[in-house]
Structure 1
């Protein structure tokens, strides 16, 4: 039976109209990768440092670091020499006013007294016991020491 004014139900999906705009889903949210900010390390101070053992004896040795200021200005400096398991007995500068040093857990840290004049050099000498003659590290104001020949 057909009732006037009513039409049968449609069961197929409606076909798209040519002018219909499709609502696109928003693009996926992407976060650009974050590059770690790399602050460049400051350049090492303008020093040339040369390490060598001067004298070896039973249980210890005397070594030195020749420190040369290669800049055009007078500069203070800090030397650090590490001997894991060793013992720093003493440290001194040859022929110039002394700075200050600490020797803890086999690490010698020496801070210059007066600034080292441009183009000048100074010898930092030290007595170490209960350690090998080759330090684990040696640097002067951030610049690694070069190793020179053995005991004289």
Structure 2
């Protein structure tokens, strides 16, 4: 039994043995403390602010750049033609005055318009001749002889207008030929052939008019647009 007690008995170190380990333990504790401090600092939120970050108010004001306005467009100066030293300027002679020779006709101006042509009477192959066959106190009988100068038959239209002293038409007829027709337009009497007049022949259109006084000459007489002969 005494032997076992001696085996398990713990020997206490002496002061001489403990003193050399104190600096080592202090250094290890210091290193552990520094590591803890560095870990705590690294885990702090960024809202605390970095000591090296500059405060917003400490930043320099932004630099404003003045943009110049667009200049008003100006027309380019007129280009001056280059003058070649070797080129010579030939003076221009004034135009000689135009002289007209007396007695020589001046040609007409091409832009001058010719006078309008006078309308010609219509050319017709059917003509008429007016005459009075019989005269009474209050009326008269007249005639228009319609003549066809062509070889082929032609229709005819006679237009008669009288002065105001000639009154109403009593009757009309075509002598020796089929009768025509008549209509009135205002104070003009229009007679139209019933059948064409044969070529190279004539037919007499006769009429009986009332009258006041002695006048019996028509103020207008035409056959197919041509004036009658009296």
State the TM-score bracket (shorter-chain normalisation). 0.5 to 0.7
Instruction: Identify which of 126, 135, 142 aligns with 1:56.
Output: 135
CA distance in 1, matches of 2:149, 2:188: 25
Higher relative contact order (CA 8 A, sep 6+): 1
Q: Note the residue ranges of structure 1 that are not aligned, 5 or more in a row.
A: 1-16, 23-29, 148-152
Instruction: Identify which of 199, 205, 216 aligns with 1:133.
Output: 216
- The corresponding residue for 2:229 is 146
More strand per residue: 1
CA distance in 2, matches of 1:40, 1:79: 22
TM-score (norm 2): 0.46
Assess if the C-alpha contact under 8 Å between 1:78 and 1:110 holds in 2: yes
CA distance in 1, matches of 2:91, 2:229: 77
Q: What's the secondary structure of 1:146's corresponding residue?
A: coil
CA distance in 2, matches of 1:120, 1:49: 12
Assess if the C-alpha contact under 8 Å between 2:140 and 2:211 holds in 1: no
CA distance in 1, matches of 2:210, 2:114: 47
**How far off is 1:37 after superposition?**
5.4
Q: What's the secondary structure of 2:151's corresponding residue?
A: coil
- The corresponding residue for 1:99 is 180
More helix per residue: 2
Distance change in 2, residues 1:78/1:59 (3 Å): same
**Residues 1-152 of structure 1 correspond to what in structure 2 (within 5 A)?**
19=90, 32-35=111-114, 38=117, 40-41=119-120, 43-85=122-164, 86-89=166-169, 90-130=171-211, 132-147=215-230
